[in-house]
């Protein structure tokens, strides 16, 4: 999932200062699951903003709506008319949602209520960790499921850097060395020979380093470009 954290209330209030009628718009997918931007968080944010504005003697109003996914035109179109009632939308979606909304609703001001942090998963209640950078050329087969691109601080592809101590990365005693995890897993699955294949330098052109990426699937497009 995409993980995000709500921006500090003071930062949100500052960005909303020029507007009088605000919609705090929750998103019903990733940010709902990571408890940062769903219906509940939209209601909490609107209530906190209303209290703040009341104390400051402002007449700004915050209402709430929630969209299943702010990253798809289909759902944006369903709410577009209602969003026209507002001077600005405070989106509690990830950066993808904010930008999809902005692209679809050209005349609407859509502002980010969250800081989008990473793609990852919940390790336990209240703790999320990053595990994929979307490099565009997955090597999880080599490591049997542990990403050295994301989870090794130096994105090493051919084993550890030499700074690992007692299974921890040299950047912090709180961070597991990804290559220790990979080594332990390969031993456990009797697949250590996978480490003997020297990996060539990674082709970073498939990652964000190659610029904005677009995926085209001709087989599922509604109208063929041919
Ligand atoms: S190798 Fe690339 S695509 Fe695969 S998990 Fe790691 S960052 Fe993600
Ligand atoms: S100690 Fe391990 S995780 Fe940290 S940079 Fe070196 S190989 Fe990567």
Is residue 134 in contact with ligand 1, taking CB distance under 6 Å?
A: yes
What secondary structure letter does DSSP report for 195?
G
Distance between CA 215 and CA 14 in Å, rounded? Answer: 37
Q: How far is the CA of 131 from the centre of ligand 2 (A)?
A: 15
Nearest-CA residue for ligand 2 atom 7 is 160
Give CATH 3.40.50 domain extents, the chain: 2-118
Is residue 145 in contact with ligand 2, taking CB distance under 6 Å?
A: no
Distance between CA 69 and CA 24 in Å, rounded? Answer: 14
CATH topology of domain 2-118: Rossmann fold (3.40.50)
Is residue 152 in contact with ligand 1, taking CB distance under 6 Å?
A: no
Tens-level pLDDT at each residue, the chain (226 residues): 999 999 999 999 999 999 999 999 999 999 999 999 999 999 999 999 999 999 999 999 999 999 999 999 999 999 999 999 999 999 999 999 999 999 999 999 999 999 999 999 999 999 999 999 999 999 999 999 999 999 999 999 999 999 999 999 999 999 999 999 999 999 999 999 999 999 999 999 999 988 999 999 999 988 754 4
The number of C-alpha atoms within 13 Å of 193 and in the hemisphere containing its C-beta is 1
The reported pTM is 0.92
Is residue 161 in contact with ligand 2, taking CB distance under 6 Å?
A: yes
The neighbouring-strand residues paired with 90 are 24, 111
The answer to whether the beta carbons of residues 90 and 45 sit under 8 Å apart is yes
């Amino acid at each position: 999932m995409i993980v995000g954290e709500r921006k500090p209330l003071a930062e949100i209030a500052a960005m909303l200062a020029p507007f009088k009628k605000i919609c705090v718009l929750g998103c019903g997918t990733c940010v709902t699951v990571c408890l940062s931007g769903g219906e509940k968080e939209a209601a909490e944010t609107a209530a906190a903003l209303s209290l703040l504005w009341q104390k400051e003697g402002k007449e700004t109003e915050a209402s709430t709506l929630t969209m299943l996914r702010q990253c798809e035109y289909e759902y944006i179109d369903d709410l577009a008319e209602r969003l026209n009632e507002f001077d600005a939308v405070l989106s509690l979606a990830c950066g993808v949602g904010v930008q999809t909304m902005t692209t679809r609703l050209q005349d609407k001001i859509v502002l980010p209520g969250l800081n989008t942090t990473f793609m990852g998963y919940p390790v336990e209640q209240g703790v999320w960790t990053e595990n994929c950078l979307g490099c565009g050329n997955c090597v999880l087969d080599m490591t049997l499921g542990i990403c050295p691109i994301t989870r090794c601080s130096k994105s090493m592809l051919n084993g550890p850097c030499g700074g690992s101590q007692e299974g921890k990365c040299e950047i912090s005693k709180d961070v597991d060395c990804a290559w220790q995890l990979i080594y332990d897993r390969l031993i456990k699955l009797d697949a250590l020979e996978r480490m003997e294949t020297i990996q060539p330098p990674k082709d970073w052109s498939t990652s964000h380093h190659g610029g904005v990426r677009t995926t085209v699937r001709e087989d599922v497009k509604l109208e063929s470009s041919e």
